[in-house]
Structure 1
Amino acid sequence: MIKAVLDYLDKIVRLRFDDELKGNKSVIPEFVPVGHANNSLKHFIHENELSVAETIVLFTALVPHLSPEFFNNIIAEYLPNGGDFPEFGGVKGKNHRGILPTGETVLYILAGRDIEKRMEAAKLFEEEHLFFQKNVLNIEPVPAGEPKMSGRLVLDDEYVDLFTSGKVSKPKLSSDFPAQRITTKQEWNDLVLKEKTLEEIKELETWLNYNEQLMDEWGMRDKIKPGFRVLFYGPSGTGKTMTTCLLGKYTGRDVYRVDLSMVISKYIGETEKNLSGLFNKAEHKNWILFFDEADSLFGKRTNVRDAHDKYANQEVSYLLQRIEAHNGLVILASNMKGNIDSAFTRRFNAFVEFDPPTVAERLKLWQIYMPKSNKVHKDVRLEELAKNYELTGANIVNCIHYAGLLSIQKGDSLLNKETLMAGIRKEYKKEGRILQQ
């Protein structure tokens, strides 16, 4: 299939050069896919019913990843003595030694110097087109004053992986993608919450499993806003992150926790730029976006006293627009519901409260997370620990972790009450609480 792509694009480019430089009048042939039926590129072309022009655009964006010298070799044949060829476009990269195609490159290949055909071809990069809607490829922004189509033609990394290796690699945390994939090995049975909270979580699971069916089969896409926005609120350690991971695990969706330290910038316009890149990447991916400790970004707007307040409020307004237009599940987590700007809360589809565990719930948490019984001393009374010490699930895990390490350090073969109490004291101290003896 790769050879067929290179051969086809080579033929198309040469036909354009022959038409423009030698006065020929050629008809651009359709691409005839070859290779295995399960080939990802072949499937993408068929599934999206790409036209000849769309197929050529896709191949032009892909070819630098397949054959670095591709465009250089063809141009060298038509311009053996060298020289500039501005009509063809193309730029040099920092590391790439060959020609990287631009929007101008595509316009020339598709339409030559015909202005009307070039304008028609430029519509392939509008927001309504599937290339933009599915975040397949785009024209890289250019410095102010330069022609838009002189920007580099960029194929999204995920599609590069899909078309070259047949599988999509998961995006990694970086300055260009300020989010990290999170997972859990826990099961629903390990999640200890009040019955009311669990019922609300099941409603989210229902949305994830059946919303697309409602939109398509029931024809509701034009009547219901895209996406789902929910606020998880409650004290730290009560299960907000774990719940989000479990929702992803049991609905087959990747969960990405947004790193707000990489999103928020003191420079004007940078926060919006970071958010735009994140939401563009997440569009149509069926991801769950998780904003932990969301107060710093979704907090209440302030009265405008200076330029900083003005731009901070603009950031909130921009985020409000993007989150409302996003077609996936967005979960915000906060310690307190009142910390979130009311402009966001009015647009939430659901609120889920995570209360501190009761005595019975704490007992269940101790039972779930304690090591095997042959590693626990008989002096440990879980009922007593659950009754006397107000701890969250995260606190309890930390206590057991610390006590286990302490026991091994001392050479003890069993986890005993003394080491568990050391862990409890440590958790109380972290939160500034006094442990009553």
Structure 2
Amino acid sequence: MDGNKIINTSIKPLFSYLEAAIKYRLAKELTGEIYLISELDLVDNDSYLAQFIKKNNLIKEDIILLLLSLIPQLDPSFLNSILTAFFPNGGEFPEFGGVKGKNHRGILPTAETALYILHGNDIEARLKGVTFIQLDSFLFNKKILSLEKVPVGEPKMSGKLLIDEEYLSLLTTGAILKPQLSQEFPASLIETKMEWEDLILKNKTIQEIQEIKIWLAHNETLMNEWNMGSILKPGYRVMFYGAPGTGKTLAAGLLGKETGRDVYRIDLSMVVSKYIGETEKNLSSLFDKAIHKNWILFFDEADSIFGKRTNVRDAHDKYANQEVSYLLQRIEAHPGLVILASNFKNNIDTAFTRRFHAMIEFEIPAHLERLKLWQNNLPKNIPLEAGVSLESLSKKYTITGANIVNVVHYTCLQTLAAGNTEIKESVILEGIKREYIKEGKTLS
């Protein structure tokens, strides 16, 4: 690169281009004059917005749509100022589209606004513009932009242009804004500081998880370069099953960590609704948001919603079964990795299980796995009391990895509180007893 070359990181040139495009259209339609407009030159512009446009080779139509969706966020008076110059006495101008918000005092652009800027009052050209938005737009196909739904009977193109919140943050600050758990987004991000060596599993389980890694690494090549997209269904569907605390959630988190993918755990209590149709709506919103995000979706305690369908006895059963069928359709169509986790394999409807690519059992750790868990989780710089045998503890007490972590947590705190310089066996045994009691078991 030329050392004297100046790289511009300002987004102002992009919005100057939008302003010129609007003035060009208004002047041509209202006065017949031709307003001079230069081509958008982004060669030396390295702003986040310019980088995105160049990376994805956006054409003029998508550039205008993108800039329009951003401008209310950055310059609320932008559109009003331009229109005021052409209509100094005010008045209605329905051709331009746009709506007023509840709090926003400026014009919120709609698809009609974009159609006017791009095609004016040329009906044939506007029809092609509508087709572009509905079928051909990169931004709409990737769910980066969307149109707000309008009341029944009103033109679809009168819906507000909406930009995905994560992309709004990415294009303006360079940072990806992670969606937060809410009624509109019933999922939370799974993050872990642990590594694969912290997850102690049987070799069979490890080998089956390796198959998921292979899919994550090679799916793009398989579907695109090998042209298998017309033969194979998109996505990869896996079921993790086994007792609580055996590592199902941690395995999902580690898959995401290793491959650089976000893992979202779906809160089914927020998804399932007693109101007819609301469950489908909640899940539809989630899948629509995830479809182009390369996320891993993790449905914990999946049998609560993906469980066996009932015989139809009343209207409630009918709609409950419709919800299951809808979920099956969305999961099968989803192009990413979907993991369903259940404590009991037999609780899941066979209509789902036969569609899984893999069914992976997370067994309660055996003696040798428990020994590794004790060794990995106990603090390395605090000695054990003389006579403490991890080998003996591992053989005698059948507990899960999560139980062992809880026991270690309890033991460390009690050791610190007592001011001891070593970990006593009696404290470890008390911690194990507490775990047994929680699960309704008796410590022998």
* TM-score normalised by length of structure 2: 0.94
1:25-424 correspondence runs (5 A) = 30-33=39-42, 35-37=44-46, 39-127=47-135, 129-424=137-432
- Report if the CA contact (8 A) 2:199-2:247 is conserved: yes
**Bigger Cα displacement from structure 2, 62-71 vs 347-356:** 62-71
- 1:359 and 1:385 map into 2 onto residues whose CA distance is 9
For 1:164, the aligned partner's letter is T
**Bigger Cα displacement from structure 2, 87-96 vs 10-19:** 87-96
Distance 1:27 1:328, change over 3 A: farther
**Bigger Cα displacement from structure 2, 325-334 vs 46-55:** 46-55
In structure 2, what is the equivalent of residue 15 of structure 1?
24
Count of residue correspondences: 435
- Report if the CA contact (8 A) 1:257-1:290 is conserved: yes
Q: 1:27: how far off?
A: 8.6
- 2:152 and 2:416 map into 1 onto residues whose CA distance is 63
Q: Aligned Cα RMSD in Å?
A: 1.7
Identity %: 58
Q: 1:299: how far off?
A: 1.1
- 1:215 and 1:263 map into 2 onto residues whose CA distance is 31
In structure 1, what is the equivalent of residue 5 of structure 2?
none
Unaligned runs of 5+ in 1: none
- Report if the CA contact (8 A) 1:184-1:242 is conserved: yes
* TM-score normalised by length of structure 1: 0.95
Q: 1:376: how far off?
A: 2.5
- Report if the CA contact (8 A) 1:263-1:271 is conserved: yes
For 1:283, the aligned partner's letter is I
- Report if the CA contact (8 A) 1:30-1:52 is conserved: no
- 1:59 and 1:380 map into 2 onto residues whose CA distance is 67
Q: 1:223: how far off?
A: 2.1
The counterpart of 1:2, out of the listed 1, 11, 17, is 11
Q: Secondary structure at the match of 1:374?
A: coil
Q: 1:175: how far off?
A: 2.2
For 2:28, the aligned partner's letter is D
Distance 1:395 1:367, change over 3 A: same
Distance 1:375 1:418, change over 3 A: same
